[in-house]
Structure formats: structure tokens, C-alpha cells
Structure 1
Amino acid sequence: MVRSLSRRAFLGGSLAVGATGLLAACGGGASSGQGGGSGSWSFKDDTGNTVNLDRRPTRIAGLNDTIASLWNYGIVPVASFGATALADDVNFEGKDTSKVTEVGNTYGQIDVEALAAQRPDVIVTHAYPVDTSGKLDPAKPLYGFNDLEQQKLVGEVAPIVAIAMAGPATKVIERTVDLATSLGVTEETLAEPRRKYEAARERLRKVAGSGLSVMAVAAYPSEGVHIAKAKDDPALRSYVDLGLSYPDPGGSDYYWRSVSWENITDYRTDVVLYSLRAMDGEAMLDQPTFAQLPAAKAGQVYPWEFSSMDYVAQARTIDNLAANLEKARKVS
């Protein structure tokens, strides 16, 4: 057997793939001002914390994954931190990242002084649950922070707002929209991205009707294969909600079922999705046991994309997934 890989370790270090509001809504954001930066501002985040400011925030800093979504709605951040440099993050392709001061490009390493120098009004990030129930543990740091001490230091620079990466992606996207609209994004701005997102979902719903079975994995030469559990990953869970067949790999661990290369042949699906932050499909096919899988023999091994939780990024990712599944056939 391979060692257990925690979701936080996978998402937070060089292995980050990310993956996708609380199972029960924690209340929406609100802004009383109509112009950028005007009026008082209040937002209740998914940890239950309410941030109140005299004016709507205009200088936004935070975790790459979160600011990418806000940027897709037109809010350009002043500073970022995360597991990678912005130039290496697909969520920022096509964006002029010279506008953003990177105060950390390794998970948990944040230059607090450099962050403070950017004078952010608010700092946005994600909160990951500790188990399948979606429970958040206040004794654990929010995503992106090395520990609670660091989180406290950052919180002294500006208030921190966290969106929970739990439940289906649709709920996370809705909460991100709540945050974006509280910051001044209009319904007019959201309308076309929402339309494209719903169109992509309908496309995936149609291809899911073919009955193809899918599993998403992160594989490593010396560790074996970590099979993601759809119920614990917001994006995968939303695909299942659209009708995609995603067999439960079993096991009692949260988020992953970890298996050796020798035992991967027990997990047979029509399609395998591989993490873009782990071994790619070609390298996996060089593993003799993996090559025996029906999906491998059929050449139905496609990328498992992580994208930010917003209409723009999710529409792109879902369209890419649907395009790959439209080429696939039942083989298991």
C-alpha cells in the first residue's frame, strides 16, 4: 500500500490540483454603496465571520485560486499568494499579471511585509473541510496559510474573508458570486459568463447520458495512485449531479483512496482523468499495471483540470471535459 495523501498536502504543495460554498448557506454578502469604494460594506463568510468596513473594498489581495475568480469578473487584485507563481497557474493565462504583486508562490510562505505594503482592504481565501460532512475546523488555518500564527499576522494587515470549498461546485460558485457582487460586480457583467457556464453544464449532462464511468487520479512513480472521491471534490461532485457515473473507490480516508500500482487494476472505468500536477497520462501508460486498464487500452486517459470557482473558468473546464468524453466509448 502507498502512504496516505491528505487533501491539504496535495492541494497545498507542489502537487496542488485544487479542485471546488458550504453544504448549508452561511448567508450572502451585502454592500450598501453603489459606486466603487462608496458606502459601508459587510460580508459574512463561510466560517461565520462577518467583516464590516466603512467603505466597499477596492484593493483586494489573496489566494491565487480565489482572486482568479474575482479577476474573471473584472476585479484586478493588488497582491497574491499561493502554491505556484501566477505565471505557472493556468487560471491566469491571458492576464497581465504584472499588475499583481506576488507575496508568496510556495504554499504557506507569505511575505507579510510585502503584503502590507500593498495596502489591501480585504484578503480573500478558501476554507477546506476536514471530512466528507463539509465541517470546517477553526483550530486549523485557512487554506494558503502555514499555521494560525501566520494567519493572525495576515489578518492584522486586513480582514480575511474565506469561501468554503465544500459541497458541489455550484454552491462554491454561488458563494463566490455573492462575494463578487458585494464588491461591485454587476448582474450585467455576470450574465454572459453564467450563460456559457450553463451551456457547458448542459453539454456535459448530455454526454453523461452515455453511461461512461470515470475516475480522477493523481499518480506518482514511487507512491502509486491516489483516486479522488467525487463526493469530497466540489467539481467532481457537480459532474455526478449532472449524471456522470463516478464509482466510489471506497476506503475510509477523506478525499482519496490510495492504492499501489499493483492494485490499480482493481479500479476499472471507461475513462481516467489525470491530475495536471502529477504524472501525466503518457507517463502513467508506461506503468505496466496501469496500461492494463480498459481506459488505458482504449486511449481514454484525459487531463483532470483544476480551475477557479467561477462561471468563466468552470465553463472552460467543463467544455474541455465534455469534448474529451464525447470522443470516448464504453470499454469497462
Structure 2
Amino acid sequence: MKLRSILLTAVAASALLLAGCSSTGTTGSSAGSGSSAAAGGAWSYEDATGTTVKVDHTPKRVVVLNDIAISFVQYGLRPVGTFGQLTMASDARFKGLDTDGITQLGKAYGDIDLEQLAALKPDLVVTSVYPTDEQGTLDPKAPGYGFKDKAQEKQIAAIAPIVQVKWGGKGLDVIKDISGLAESLGAKESTVAAAEKRFDSAKDELTAATKRQDLRVVSMYADGDGAYVTRPADEPTLQMYRDFGVDLVTPKPKGYYWGIYSWENAGQISGDVLLLSQQGYQVADLEKQPTFADNTALQAGQVHSWTFPALDYASQAQYMTQLAGWLDDSKKLS
């Protein structure tokens, strides 16, 4: 399924959402939207939808959307299964991570083998939920991200309770929510703190690079229907990078999350560096588009993979370090 079609299942069609500091809160010492682990072992978590999920013990067998599974692994947790728009083998974000023992429950968005899921005997399923507009509105009638529809979500909920993490707003807030949730499930505070320290160093490195180089950066996805430029204010990671000094281009076409350019109008997209989604068209495909082949960043080879880096301190530290290097190695074109 194309990325464009995938994310249309996550938000209202009118939104056309296309598409994965320290920990704070109260889970004993940490939390996401609000979680707790009582001395007797009971565990509860208030998720982004306002639903409080309760389990009579701290969940150990957890099935997680790939976007968040990456973060859990980074923090030393071991999900028993994962699902999402990409398999672990095809998702660049899993490169270098130990995925031994994690079951891949499907090969595409909404493709979740329910029998296989039940066989894993999960205590908990964790996914995300995307807002439908700039105000952060959540649609209670929409399924959680990664689920094909509400019917499938109901089937999954019959196997294990579901927690949904809000994937919108400020990037640092999402990082704190995921870090808190991970700690409530057993991640060591020292592991999270060490990752946060690397994050802070990478943030400083990225900020310094933006001051050395006056470059405009475009984040985009493309397929046969056109080019989709991400609206930085609506994507948590890009919102955070903009706060750190990256000059991210806001697309001219109106709309939530993406500015959509037909291929006839794709020549209007300009910047010094392109961050191209790991899904959809790649460089060779863009070079075949008559209206985009002469894009200055494309011609200069200043195109890098936009992996939608996971929103945890460790993953973001890795990507920000890469991005700082790319900026330093690039030149002003526009």
C-alpha cells in the first residue's frame, strides 16, 4: 500500500495526513500521559485518547507499532511482536538494532496476523494516534495507527488492551511520553538518561551546524501522483528541528501536514537540501520526472533519506548527528 493511502487510514481524508529534556511524569518516577505501577505489581496508563488501561501486573509481553518498537529497543526493552507500514527488514531505522526474538506480524500497513498475535499472548499492544488538524484534534472514530479499521482494532483489543500514544504536537513532548511509557514498562532510568545526554550533545551539534550553514531544507515524499512536502509545524520531529535552528521549508499549498504538488507543479519546490522519505520514489525516480529533474538540490546530490526517525532520545541523537553532517557537507544553492 502506498504511504499516501496508508496515512489516509490514520486521519480524516480532508486532512490528508500521509505517511515512524528529561523524562517526566509519574510512573513511580516517570510516566507518559499518566501511568503508574503500584507496589503490588498492578499497572495503569492513561493514553492519548483519555482511556486508562489497567493490567494486574507490569506488562512484559508487549506488541508494539514499529515506530515505537524502535524506541523500546533503544531503551533496552524487548517487544514480543511488531507491526506497521514496513517490516523490520525493510525499515532503515531498525539497522543495527537487535531484533532477535521480535515477531513480525505483517508485511504492510493493516496487515496484522491475528492468530499469530494471539499466539504471542501479549499483555499489551502499543500504537500511536495522529491528530487530524493543527489544533491536535483526535478523531475517536478513527482506528489507531497501523490498524486496518475499527473492526480490526476491536479484534486486537479482545486479545490484549491497547495503548495509543499521540504522534503530534511538539516533538519533545512525544519523546517524553514514549520515554515515560518505556520506563513504566521496565526500561532503566539510567538507560534513558544516557540516551538523553547523547540527544543533548547532538542537539548542540545540529544547532551549531545551522549557524555555520545558511541552508533551506525540504522534507518530502513522492509517488506517481505527485510530491508531498511536509509542513514542519505539523510533524513533531520537524517541529523540534526547527526549534533547534533548521530552516525547514513550509510548502505553499494549504493543508494539514502536507503541501501537495502535482507533478505539473513540482518545479515550485526549492531548497538546498532534500530529505526524501525512505518510502515512495527515490532519487532515480525523481530524476525521471521532467518537472523535477532540474531541481537544484537533486542535481547537486544534496538528497538524504528521511526515515521518520523514532521519537526517542537515542534515535533522534543518531539522526540529528547525521543531519548536522549533511548540512556541513552541503552548499547554498537557492
- After the TM superposition, which residues 1-332 of structure 1 pair with which residues of structure 2 at under 5 Å, given as runs? 5=4, 8-9=7-8, 19=20, 27-33=33-39, 39-209=41-211, 210-220=213-223, 222-332=224-334
Gaps of 5+ in 1: 20-24
For 2:165 and 2:301, the matched residues in 1 are separated by: 37
For 1:319 and 1:10, the matched residues in 2 are separated by: 33
- What's the TM-score once normalised by structure 1's chain length? 0.88
1:173 Cα deviation from its structure 2 partner:
0.8
**TM-aligned CA distance change 1:200 to 1:154, over 3 Å:** same
**TM-aligned CA distance change 1:91 to 1:295, over 3 Å:** closer
**Percent identity (aligned):** 37
- What's the TM-score once normalised by structure 2's chain length? 0.87
SS at match of 2:259: strand
Q: Could you list the per-position Cα deviations for residues 160-200 of structure 1 after superposition, in whole angstroms to 9, with x for gaps in the alignment? A: 01111101221111000110111122221112211111111
Query: 1:87–1:97: 8 Å Cα contact kept in structure 2?
Result: no
**TM-aligned CA distance change 1:252 to 1:5, over 3 Å:** farther
SS at match of 1:330: coil
Query: 1:72–1:312: 8 Å Cα contact kept in structure 2?
Result: yes
For 2:68 and 2:32, the matched residues in 1 are separated by: 18
**TM-aligned CA distance change 1:317 to 1:11, over 3 Å:** farther
For 1:200 and 1:310, the matched residues in 2 are separated by: 13
Q: Could you list the per-position Cα deviations for residues 34-91 of structure 1 after superposition, in whole angstroms to 9, with x for gaps in the alignment? A: xxxx611111111111112221111111211112211111110112222222222223
Query: 1:26–1:48: 8 Å Cα contact kept in structure 2?
Result: no
Gaps of 5+ in 2: 12-16, 21-30
For 1:272 and 1:98, the matched residues in 2 are separated by: 34
Structure 1 runs of 4+ aligned residues shifted over 6 Å read none
Equivalent position amino acid for 2:188 in 1: T
Give aligned pairs, total. 316
1:256 Cα deviation from its structure 2 partner:
1.4
Equivalent position amino acid for 2:199 in 1: Y
For 2:97 and 2:302, the matched residues in 1 are separated by: 32
Larger helix proportion of the pair: 1
Query: 1:249–1:257: 8 Å Cα contact kept in structure 2?
Result: yes
For 2:78 and 2:288, the matched residues in 1 are separated by: 42
Equivalent position amino acid for 1:71 in 2: V
Greater shift after overlay, 79-88 or 41-50? Answer: 79-88
For 1:18 and 1:240, the matched residues in 2 are separated by: 20
For 1:127 and 1:92, the matched residues in 2 are separated by: 21
Counterpart for residue 26 of structure 2: none
For 1:139 and 1:126, the matched residues in 2 are separated by: 14
For 1:305 and 1:322, the matched residues in 2 are separated by: 15
1:305 Cα deviation from its structure 2 partner:
2.2
For 1:31 and 1:127, the matched residues in 2 are separated by: 24
Q: Could you list the per-position Cα deviations for residues 280-320 of structure 1 after superposition, in whole angstroms to 9, with x for gaps in the alignment? A: 22432343432333323433222222222111111111111
